[in-house]
Structure 1
């Protein structure tokens, strides 16, 4: 039926169809972003992720959806698939280099997600990261868990018989918790502090 229309009208019909397809792609990308953002909020509510992790996840998801929509729009505008594939390969290569360059940072972010999903410890828990089964390691009260570090507040023994915070903190990379053994104390505050500040007795020499 389109062939029966005048040549000028056929040209405008093709233009209108292309514009309609572009608008449809934009609409679908917008709807997909809303769905992904809603899914991210549900995951955040279920696993109680830190507040600053939510905007980052939304930003990454939005960038991926926008990039896919842009490629589809360019394809509908007549850009060659070979050109698109070459551009995509170039961006993928740059992204791979950046990924390996930032591997240590990304591993800490991934370990932060594992900490909140597997729940080996929580805020206000008292933990100790051991070098091995015998040597004492980093220990204190967990006061913060962010994308890169877990912050421990050190506890000191007061000569008068009490225990108190030293005012110093330890910032431990999140990935370290999956490379070392960890001790976690349970119980009331006083008993936990007493165990934290009591030095480990050395075994008598033979």
Structure 2
């Protein structure tokens, strides 16, 4: 083969390999994204969880494909390894700095997947046997806090924002659907007394 053809192949083959690597990463990401959407729908997870999971998977896949593509283009493995360890060190520092936030995010995933409680349920985080705990109706569950509408509070319309990790550090009492303190509904249009057994 002529020299110009060899030079063209030396340039074209690595570029084709990089293109194939990026295409494979894109196909894998599309597949994983569909799996995430199915899991999110099956477990009724919030959109925030799906969004964070998709971004994390995309970062790992495309980051790995980029490093692999650079290696195919002739970038030194020592340079790539140095860049990777540098990013890993920064990520480790950020991980420990944001440990409490990450703990709450992980506990939010556990709340949804184990169905510990749901919107509309009344829950109480028990302190101990002597003191009443934090109690209220679940209004919202996000990645960091669970919002409770207080029951039995002196002020109307107050809410509690409880970190999700607290539900896994203490015992939790749960009432399904609505607070047990609500009065029983009596049908006043019926001539029969509520204490009278059905005849």
Deviations 1:108-148, CA, capped at 9 Å, x for gaps: 00000000011111110001001123321100100100000
Q: Which of the residues 169, 182, 185 maps onto 2:175?
A: 185
Deviations 1:70-92, CA, capped at 9 Å, x for gaps: 10111011001011001100000
Check if 1:27 corresponds to 2:16: no
Corresponding residue SS for 2:135: strand
The 3 A distance-change label for structure 1 pair 150 and 83 is: same
Q: Which of the residues 27, 34, 45 maps onto 1:49?
A: 45
**Per-residue deviation at 1:192?**
3.9
Q: Which of the residues 151, 161, 166 maps onto 1:171?
A: 161
Instruction: Please provide the CA RMSD for this pair.
Output: 1.7
State the distance in 2 between where 1:157 and 1:90 align: 51
- In structure 2, the residue matched to 1:59 is 55
State the distance in 2 between where 1:76 and 1:192 align: 68
State the distance in 2 between where 1:85 and 1:178 align: 39
Structure 2: unaligned runs, 5 residues or longer: 184-199
Corresponding residue SS for 2:10: helix
**Per-residue deviation at 1:52?**
2.2
Whether contact under 8 Å (2:120, 2:176) holds in the other structure is no
Q: How many residues align?
A: 183
State the distance in 1 between where 2:128 and 2:81 align: 50
TM-score (norm 2): 0.87
- In structure 1, the residue matched to 2:128 is 132
Corresponding residue SS for 1:44: helix
Stretch deviating more after TM superposition (120-129 or 14-23): 14-23
The structure with the largest strand share of the pair is 1
- In structure 1, the residue matched to 2:151 is 155
State the distance in 2 between where 1:190 and 1:137 align: 15
State the distance in 1 between where 2:82 and 2:91 align: 14
